[in-house]
Amino acid sequence: MVETRYVTPDRPRAEALVAAALRAAGQPVVPGEWQWVEHGSANLVVLAGTAAVRVGRTASAAAESRRAQALIDALPDLPFAVPRALADPLSDGDMVAIVQRRLEGIPHPSGHGEATALERLLDALAAVPIDPHDPNLAIPHAFMGGGEWHPVIVEHAVPLLSPEVRDAARQAADALAGLDPAPYALVHGDLAGSNVLWRGGTVAGVIDWDLASAGDPAVDVAALAVWHGWEVIERVRPPEVVRRARVVAATHPLQVIAFSIVNERPEAEVLRAAAWATARLHSPDGMRRRTAHETGRETVR
């Protein structure tokens, strides 16, 4: 297991800011009932009744949280809920708290899924009108280096792998770089695991839109396919999209290393990520991808 530990903001300051954010949203303030959740390098999340408060750790995290929330709040009505803001962001120095609607539902177990529900989810994202120049969208491939993702992987991540898997890793990165451009669409960027909430066999909500971009829909198809099973996705997406998604999925282990590198994580953490990726590349048929929230930004199991 690769664990990532981040410095928690000053607790009294964070508690005061969360309380102020909840009051601004007209929500009850009962600190004894709050649930504090580590949410990767960027945020803490405090679950409080029907609200969820995201607390940015740094100035850059605060800016990213504001950007992502603006995108969420501008989304049209969808056949599932999204965490829209309940009040304007509040700040205390570099720390920013955004109080959101807390979504209902639970993550779907990995290994299987309901084809109709997954098709509806992907169709809904594809139907969202977007402007690729919208400043509230993330940069495509932001998780692994943005526009520099290929050199990050080939020049920095691959050399950290065991020699016997390096050629396959380079080929996977080159294959992704060599894909013909696809018509852009709204791409969530981490559409699996705990970021998709289910209730009664349908998708009830989608959270964690930080990586949402104008990009190749195959990114989301790959995440869902590896989580729920390729046979399910093959029933609801054209063969060409599935082919592209398989190319994307082959780089998932490398993306975890790239995240650690571009975010300048401690050397020991980068090396643990490389060891985890090496193990997955040794046995790709048995690899099940965790979401970015569960891997590079928090824990790789």
pLDDT score at 61: 86
CB-based contact 69:98 (threshold 8 Å)? yes
pLDDT score at 4: 46
Domain made up of 106-300: CATH architecture: Alpha-Beta Complex (3.90)
DSSP H helical segments within the chain, as ranges?
A: 11-24, 59-74, 115-126, 149-151, 163-177, 218-228, 230-233, 239-249, 252-262, 267-282
Using alpha carbons, select from 288, 220, 248, 51 the residue that is nearest to residue 149: 248
CB-based contact 60:95 (threshold 8 Å)? no
> Fold match between 2-101 and 106-300?
no
**The whole model's pTM is what?**
0.90
CB atoms within 10 A of CB 257: 29
Could you tell me the residue ranges of all domains in the chain? 2-101, 106-300
Give the integer Cα–Cα distance in Å for 289 and 60.
Answer: 27
| pLDDT, tens digit only, all 301 positions of the chain | 344 445 456 788 999 999 999 999 999 999 999 999 875 556 789 999 999 999 987 888 889 999 999 999 999 999 999 999 999 999 998 899 999 999 999 999 999 999 999 999 999 999 999 999 999 999 999 989 999 999 999 999 999 999 999 999 999 999 999 999 999 999 999 999 999 999 999 999 999 999 999 999 999 999 999 999 999 999 999 999 999 999 999 999 999 999 999 988 999 999 999 999 999 998 765 445 444 444 444 433 2
Give the integer Cα–Cα distance in Å for 148 and 179.
Answer: 16
Residues 6+ apart with CB under 8 A from 267: none
pLDDT score at 294: 44
pLDDT score at 293: 40
pLDDT score at 282: 87
CB-based contact 211:143 (threshold 8 Å)? yes
pLDDT score at 40: 57
Q: Which CATH number fits domain 2-101: 1.25.40.10, 3.20.20.30, 3.30.200.20, 1.10.357.10?
A: 3.30.200.20
